[in-house]
A and B are shown apart, each in its own frame.
Chain A
Amino acid sequence: MTESLYKVITKEELSQFGYALRETGTIYAPVKTSKESHSFKQVDTLTEADLEYHRTMIPPKKFFISPKETIFTFNKEKEEYNETPAVNEPLVLFGVHPCDINALNLLAKVYLESFTDKYYSERRENTTIIGISCTPDEYCFCKSTGTDYAREGFELFLHDIGDRYLVRVGSLKGYNLLQKHASLFREVTEEDLSLYRQAEKKRLASFTKSLEMSGLQDMLDMSYNSPIWEEYGEKCLCCGSCNLVCPRCRCYDVQDYIDLNLNTGQRERKWYSCMLKEHGLVAGGHNFRATSAERLRNRVNCKGSLKEDMTNCVGCGRCSAYCPAGIDYVEILQKIRGDIE
């Protein structure tokens, strides 16, 4: 095989490709839902999508871990339960940013590595991810976290280089997809490469927010008793919005719901938030993270952790952009670093 894994598609032909992708699965793409908000929504054609968006409020994790789902239904009298089958609908996620792709790769480690979650694995199996390059806004700091580039975890990746896209193949599934629609793609020329170089230069130069990561873990460790946590804990509303919009947050709660007949019911798993007071509460009443300062410290440390070989934060900026109390995650870490007062 000598077939190149880089191709080019013009913006005009992309809409045709988008149309053809309907054979692959139901297409979800970023759609502008209000002046400042985007959401991954089902589209028929790519003209409905806004491919130059900065971020969706809810990250694409919603396609893999449902905000609320029934794990099984049970019948107490019959002493049995029935697992909910995994959904098999093929999906195409069109226009996913590198930060979100990297976040999904981290989620896959949690959900697939030691204990395989069948819902996550089947959904990922049935999903075609088409990534797209982006330009940062005032909240983006993915360059600092090293997640402004997606190396894997997608089928195809589109780099906007003017009137066309440079297309990277990220998986065999993506390669086959490209083969299937070969007539829409052409080989990369010297001119395309030069346009790609320029586009990358421009993209890198447009970051306004940055965070130095070196040594951060030790600084966090040594700042365990810092007054910073109290300072921000006081501002924090403990609403959990940061957790819901975080592409990497994956805390969930498991709860039973019983029907009015007191016999049948279901066990549900739903998104949960480490900023909520009950997160660290154990039976008997002891709470391991009773104050907002303790919970905020835990969240920032969890995000700043290197546990999964890279930091748990992908620099998407959502938690800062959507915090109703106006808490800036990067600002907290810059204070921890001593970069700002």
Chain B
Amino acid sequence: MEGVQLSLISKERLEKMASMEKLRMILDSVKEGKIVVLESGLTPEEEAKLIEMTMLEIDHENFVGIEVESYPYKEGFFSKLFGKKKGRLTVIGPANRLKTLEKKEDLITALVKIGD
């Protein structure tokens, strides 16, 4: 069956992973053409690091970057006090396969391209 592989990664699994381990796993999966859905998302710092790593791996032939979409960070009392923000549901895919059609505070609509 032809199609696009989706990896849905649970919050529990993400919490057990170190930041670099998480980012490496995401980028390796996306470079293989997979779409990764993270239940608990990334922190803003992790997202910036992911962009940096993506830029280093763009080869201008097969991999031109990523498409990332997530809901905005939620700010609670402790995150305001300590500045630590937790990410929310995040979808990441190869830029040539995943295209965001619409993004609102509580709704993300995306298109996944199958095949070349």
A, B in one complex: no
